[in-house]
Homo-oligomer: A and B are copies of this chain.
Amino acid sequence: MSPAASATTTETSDDAYRATERTVPTRSRERASWDRDLVHSVLDEGYVCHLGFVRDGAPVVLPTLYARVGERLYVHGSTGSRPLRGAGEEAGLPVCLTVTLVDGIVLARSAFHHSINYRSVVVHGTAYEVTDPAERATALDALVNHIVPGRADDSRRANAKELAATAVIRLDLEEVSAKIRSGGPNDDPEDLTLPYWSGVLPVVPAYGTPLPAVGLDPAIATPSYLTRRGEM
């Protein structure tokens, strides 16, 4: 979907983020998308993001968990952490939040055309601290349910002391784009007869057998939301 197309009708505009100068890539533009459903699907399938911010003029990139609620992302952490403190300032914290899912390793006959099949989402914006207690509760539930669907109701929710130690920041989905590479290798025609294997090695999400905590009451069965996950 091109940004020009997305601006022509209300219907399309509802389904796509508006492309901006920094969400239109200079390279491999055909891999870029602003489609809202696609962006949501990538954000919902991943659970670790890489959060970038600027500190003393230099970039910092840290991995962290996140969750999406509608058109808003949430990240949480200790009230003492650097980026979360920055988001607590009135001006907020300029961030870039990136989520990448790897789907396969692409082996071409030529070294040059080796690649990765992936789906990524890059969100540019300003992160702000969430102070409203109801929104904080929604965000914290979403963060737990995002890594393990249904888990918030099957654990002890945060108490006052834990809530006081936890900062939640929000980042609205406004300046967002996805980038996707899929399919087989793109070898040049003159390379197609070279004697090298070519194709895709799929990368698949996989989970091992759930390991109960030391001392867990043996009467507590492994929940179905964990055993099901192995079948994803």
Q: How far is the CA of A221 from the CA of B144 in the complex (A)?
A: 45
| A205 near B206: Cβ-Cβ < 8 Å | yes
Q: Is the CB of A211 within 8 A of B200?
A: yes
Question: What distance in Å separates the Cβ of A39 from its nearest Cβ neighbour in chain B?
Answer: 15
Neighbour of A155 across the interface among B111, B151, B200, CB < 8 A:
B111
A1 at the interface (CB under 8 A from B): no
B48 adjacent to A54 (CB under 8 Å): no
In the complex formed, the residue of B with least CB distance to A144 is: B111
Q: Which residues of B contact A155 (CB under 8 A)?
A: 107-111, 114, 196
Which residues of A15-42 are within 8 A (CB) of B? 22, 26-27
Within the complex, what minimum Cβ distance (angstroms) separates A8 from chain B? 28
Of B51, B156, B207, which contacts A202 at CB under 8 A? Answer: B207
CB <8 Å contact, B215 and A211: no
| Complex alpha-carbon distance, A124 and B61, angstroms | 9
Contact of A50 among B100, B211, B212 (CB under 8 A): B100
Proximity bits, A134-160, B CB within 8 Å = 1, else 0: 000000110010011001101111110
Known: A27-B80, A116-B147, A202-B211. 5 other contacts (CB 8 A): A111-B141, A185-B213, A198-B216, A201-B207, A202-B207
Q: Which 7 A-B pairs have the closest CB atoms?
A: A202-B208, A206-B206, A52-B61, A50-B50, A52-B59, A63-B100, A52-B52
